[in-house]
Amino acid sequence: MTSVALSSNYSLLTIKASNTTSSLSWQRRRGQPFNNSGNNTNRWPATRQLFSNERVFKMSIVCCNSARKSSTTSASKSKQPPQEGDENTRRALQILLWTAEGVYILWLFLLPYAPGDPVWAISSDTVNSLVGLSLNFFFILPLMNSVVGINLVDAPVLHPMSEGLFNFVIGWTFMFAPLLFTDQKRDRYKGSLDVLWGFQMFLTNTFLIPYMAIRLNDGNTEYVPRKPSQLGSVMTNGAPIVGLIGGAVCLASALWGLFGRMDGDFGTVADRWEFLVRYLGSERLAYAFIWDICLYIIFQPWLIGENLQNVQNSKVGIVTNLRFIPVVGLAAYLFFLNLDEEL
């Protein structure tokens, strides 16, 4: 009979828990054991222990399931090859760049199919034009003759469009110096950046394309960065000045091509534009400059985008948006270069 009564009372306790909660809580607060039908049997601790064990068991199941999901996720991630897509992209870019270097040299220097004469059959007129353009570098000699009045050496009189195109490309190349000397991957190139940039000033992308390919090599974590050269330090610390000079030369080159030497027999703006079209289709040097401009349009945002950590924090957004604009984006990078930190 006692077991029947206990079972009955236990069922009533379970079914009518809402009616007995207050009395159980009152007896619990007074430290009295639960007394059912005269039997001094301690049912409350057993009931509480059963509830606690169930709760602990359920919590254990949830924790185990979470741990199992976490381990499954980690295992699935670990099975994936790390940065496989980036590795394939890097190799494809290197192949493309080395191919572009071969095409650049063959097409612009050696083969006779492009406009103008190849290197091995260059004419005396092309040599004289190249010498004259070099003497008018950055319009220094023409300005000394016409503005300052110094005539120690007379500036060669060439078509303003040819002078403008030449100095535009050289001015843009001049601005690349601080960008190369602050490139985070420059140490992967084992040669001298001074020599590289020096040859780039004269032969442009003949040397810049290989650098772009070499900088994609795997980085050596144990390699100690080289100490910047004197030229690299000057170009980096004077980056805003380099950007100002290079940007001014590029702007002056465009204006010079359209309005320079107006007292000469070079015609109107329309006539000069017509000359430029003929010039690009007949001179190998001018034709090569168009290739250089197209490659610079690609390389400028590429290099700036991978070196935004060198820019002042408050100006990163500006440089990011301007880096795709030829010359302007590079000038913005040089103006806002963070010179307070070692680059």
Residues β-bridged to residue 337: 311
Place of tokens 């027999």: 265
Q: For position 65, what pLDDT does the model report?
A: 46
What tokens appear for 204 in the block? Answer: 């442009």
Which two tokens mark 162?
A: 């040819």
**Helix runs in 155-224, H state only:** 160-181, 193-203, 205-214
| Dihedral in degrees, nearest 10, Cα atoms 324, 326, 328, 334 | 80
Q: What's the pLDDT at 76?
A: 37
What pLDDT, on the 0 to 100 scale, is given for residue 264? 85
- The two structure tokens encoding residue 160: 């303003």
pLDDT, position 342? 74
Per-residue model confidence as pLDDT tens for the chain (343 residues): 444 333 334 333 333 434 444 443 434 444 444 444 444 444 444 444 444 444 444 444 433 344 444 433 343 333 344 456 688 999 999 999 999 999 999 999 999 999 999 999 999 988 999 999 999 999 999 889 888 888 888 899 999 999 999 999 999 999 999 999 999 999 999 999 999 999 999 888 899 999 999 999 987 755 566 788 999 999 999 999 999 999 999 999 999 999 999 988 899 999 999 999 999 999 999 999 999 999 999 999 999 999 999 999 999 999 999 999 999 999 999 999 998 877 6
**pLDDT at position 10, please?**
39
Number of neighbouring beta carbons within 10 Å of residue 235: 26
Q: Hunting for tokens 């300052």 — which residue is that?
A: 148
pTM of the model: 0.74
Phi, psi of 39 (to 5 degrees): -90, 125
Q: Which helix (H) or strand (E) holds 153?
A: none
